[in-house]
Amino acid sequence: METVEIRVRGQVQGVGFRPFVWRLAQELGLSGHVLNDAGGVVIRVRGAAVEALVARLRGEAPVLARVDQVEVSRWLGALAEGFVILASEAGAVRTRVTPDAASCPDCLAEVAGTGRRAGYAFTNCTHCGPRFSIVTGLPYDRAQTTMAAFALCADCAEEYRDPADRRFHAQPIACPICGPKVWCVPEAGDWLAAAAARLRAGEILAIKGLGGFHIACDAGNPQAIARLRARKHRPAKPLAVMGDPAMIEAACHVSDPERALLRDPAAPIVVLTLRARATGVAARELAPGQGCLGWMLPYTPLHHLLVAATGRPLVMTSGNPSGEPQVIGNEEALAKLGGIVDGFVLHDRAIARRLDDSVERMTPQGPMVLRRARGRVPDVLDLPEGFREGPQVIAYGGQMKGAICLVREGQALLGHHLGDLDNALNIAAFEAADRDYRALFEHSPDLVAVDLHPEFRATRYGEARAQAEGVGLVRVQHHHAHLAACLAENGWARLAGPVAGIVLDGLGLGEDGHIWGGEILLGEYATCQRVAHLSQVPLPGGDRASRDPWRNLLAQLDHAGLGALADLLLSGQPLALLRQAMAKGLNAPSCSSAGRLFDAFAAALGFAGSQSFEGEAAMGLEALARKALQDGGVCDGYPFGAGEEIDTRPLWQAWAQDRARAVPPEIMALRFHRGLAQAFAQRASDLVRAGRAQAVALSGGCLQNTVLQDELVAALAGVPVLLHHKVPANDGGLALGQAVIGMARAMGESQAAR
């Protein structure tokens, strides 16, 4: 009988993989043992059915497991009769941590039942519950989680030791006798009854969850929502809502793919289309000017209990003062959120790391990730062919939507959303996450990759680390990184040849020293060139132009020879002063940004004042265009100029004619989207048809706009198109692109040297 060692790599710890192997071995009559080590799961086994075991390991797995490799070799050691599960071994870290997972049906049935975990807010098993939010070290065992402080009672210990129990080695296992406790501030006897009563009465509560605090109120109470917005200084940004399936379906249209995404173990916020008569929620107050609303199902027993007891959908927005990182500690919450909320729901299980909720949506082309965080991180991405032997790299992303990417052994770990690095507390959180990732995964880079912009805080941080550790540094142009992130996600091989990239976003420093943002690129991982771009138009006021859409409208109308119309539309603004500044190039850098063009057109259709959050004007413009599509959407796109410069002047001249004819704003919004998409698609398609590119990749923050994405895909019919599905198209995906570009260049230099 053959005796072998089987090593299983992937997402195989903390997901019930060892008891799964134990059950297979029992069924197949095999002898040996299984254990966790820092490389994954090791099985040493003897018996006639070894080949059957290997085949089933490759074809079957627990719900949360993901098997990347099954390696089989001879084993010369002795094995006792029977099959057992051994304790974990330490060693150099080569495995990964499982993302946090929503409560499974079996655990929810216990919570709703009459057994010893009835009504218990921390019920979990190997198929669900906290993972990354509580782990403090590897291998993943209870002693290296924030559950180490809670000694198991006799009943939980028996479940934990029994391979036939679904809680076998479930590290967060707990019950009301031995596990974490929940309480209210101000104090109340029954936390659940008190919290539900206060929410129904219109109060605002801070709720300690899985990866941080939420701020919650009744999502159907306009007055409560208004108070929350005023206290949090969040006047218009959409608020996420939590509810059960019936509540969601009463407010929004939900397709089968959207329903499946809501019920995914990651339990993301899913952006859904509101019904014309949404019930149960104050839709206008929750998402002003939008036709969509972000929903999530309860994903912990605590959330399930709270939603059920309240009987209403609940706002569940990030628990933080505006612009700061999400609060995770009890004392921190009491100190920072006291001026926002009327009370607190606290518990005594520590949160090891801050994790915002992931935000996703379904499109006709498949899923789209807007924010990659809880439930998705730290899942890894397998890199394409040609990257397996590359160096270890760490990449630090950009200034906005911070995220870190670690690469090793052909896999990329794109870290969780860390916010915008304009805020000192977010910078501190960014630096803490870097220390956390390198310690937890024992990552030692050979190369550091950063954005080309020298003033980005992430760039300066990466430069300092490279210098301190004496490793190589690569600076990557912003839009090239967007393109490369899309290629890597889609499995485009390192040497597969060039693609055309349509990269549309807000701002990124170009290789010519100008600000880019509306680009067609031609290239691959190591090299890239700009072949077409939107008109370079001044940004009057510099950074102020990102906040004030009317400034961009002034620049665009003046560029189009429509200064008199600008005078009419923008009377009351300091136009003469800004025109002087633009003429002299004072605080008015030249820019080809698609994001700023969206802002300008939103201002042309009536968006007044300043944006209270990034993308507010563009989101309103998308909502108008979507309304036109729902009403039939029969119209041509606005024209743009031909040539290397995608000239915006024809767009504005055609729009001025529409305005004079009183064309409805939703039609003008759709014509804008359609014309922009057609202008870029035509040039990119020409590159493919001329044999200069093999496909077209779509990336950049503007590609979060589903109307624009749909119009681009339609205009690119007959051409291979690469889209983002797992990695954000926005700056949250930049670090992945930087990492693979750094690897490709290093590998190319190494090969050239040989």
pLDDT at 87: 79
Radius of gyration of the chain (CA): 27
Instruction: Give the mean pLDDT of 138-167.
Output: 92
| CB atoms near residue 144 (< 10 Å) | 18
Please write the tens of the pLDDT for every residue from 162-185: 988 999 889 999 999 999 999 999
- Cα dist from 672 to 546, 596, 609, 637, whole Å: 19, 13, 21, 6
Q: Tens of pLDDT along 224-234?
A: 999 999 999 99
Q: Is the peptide bond before 139 cis (omega within 30 degrees of 0)?
A: yes
pLDDT at 753 > cutoff 80? no
Q: Say whether pLDDT at 751 is over 80.
A: no
Q: How far is residue 628's CA from residue 605's CA, in Å, rounded to a whole number?
A: 14
pLDDT single digits (tens) 202-240: 999 999 999 999 999 999 999 999 999 999 999 999 999
pLDDT (tens digit, 9 = 90+) per residue, 257-310? 999 999 999 999 999 999 999 999 999 999 999 999 999 999 999 999 999 999
> What value does the mean pLDDT of the chain take?
95
Is the confidence at residue 331, as pLDDT, over 70? yes
Angle between helix 594-604 and helix 649-660 axes, rounded to 10 deg = 10
Four-CA torsion 415, 359, 313, 118, nearest 10 degrees: -40
Please tell me the predicted confidence (pLDDT) of residue 90. 64
Residue 464 has pLDDT above 90, yes or no: yes
Query: Which of the residues 7, 9, 18, 376 is marked catalytic?
Result: 18
> What pLDDT band is residue 10 in, cutting at 50, 70 and 90?
confident
**Taking residues 63-81, what's their average pLDDT?**
90
What per-residue confidence (pLDDT) applies to 23?
92
CB 452 within 8 A of CB 460: no
Q: Check residue 98 and give its pLDDT.
A: 87
**Which stretches of 364-446 are assigned E, i.e. beta strand?**
366-371, 381-382, 393-395, 405-408, 411-414
What pLDDT is stored for residue 397 in this prediction?
A: 97
Q: Give 34: exposed, middle or buried? Use CB within 10 Å, 0-12, 13-18, 19+.
A: buried
- pLDDT, tens digit, for every residue of 667-723? 999 999 999 999 999 999 999 999 999 999 999 999 999 999 999 999 999 999 999
Place of tokens 């998705």: 376
Quickly state the pLDDT bin for 78 (edges 50, 70, 90): confident
CA 738 to CA 356: how far, in whole Å? 23
Written as six digits, the tokens of 676 are 């922009």
pLDDT at 91 > cutoff 80: no
Q: Which domains does the chain have, with CATH numbers?
A: 3-85 (3.30.70.100), 97-379 (3.90.870.30), 388-486+728-744 (3.30.420.360), 534-722 (3.30.420.40)
14 pLDDT exceeds 80?
A: no
Q: CA 277, CA 696: separation in Å to the nearest integer?
A: 39
pLDDT in tens, 631-641: 998 899 999 99
Residue 108 CA to residue 125 CA, distance in Å, equals 11
Instruction: Evaluate if residue 68 carries a pLDDT over 60.
Output: yes
> Residue 139: what pLDDT?
72
> pLDDT at position 96, please?
66
Query: In the prediction, which pLDDT does 546 show?
Result: 94
What is residue 4's predicted lDDT score, i.e. its pLDDT?
94
The per-residue pLDDT for 754 is 64
What's residue 42's pLDDT? 95
pLDDT of 627 higher than 90? yes
- pLDDT tens per residue across span 403-432: 999 998 889 999 999 999 988 889 999 999
Annotation marks residue 18 as catalytic: yes
**Which tokens is 324 given?**
């700061």
User: 363: helix, coil or strand?
Assistant: strand
- CB count within 10 Å of CB 201 equals 11
36, 124, 221, 426: the catalytic one is 36
pLDDT in tens, 567-613: 999 999 999 999 999 999 999 999 999 999 999 999 999 998 899 99
Give the pLDDT score at 95: 58
Tell whether the model's pLDDT for residue 457 goes beyond 70: yes
Residue 134 corresponds to which tokens in the numbers above? 């509580």
Q: What is the pLDDT of residue 94?
A: 56
Q: What is the 3-state secondary structure (H, E, C) of 557-622?
A: HHHCCCHHHHHHHCCCCCHHHHHHHHHHCCCCCEECCHHHHHHHHHHHCCCCCCCCCCCHHHHHHH
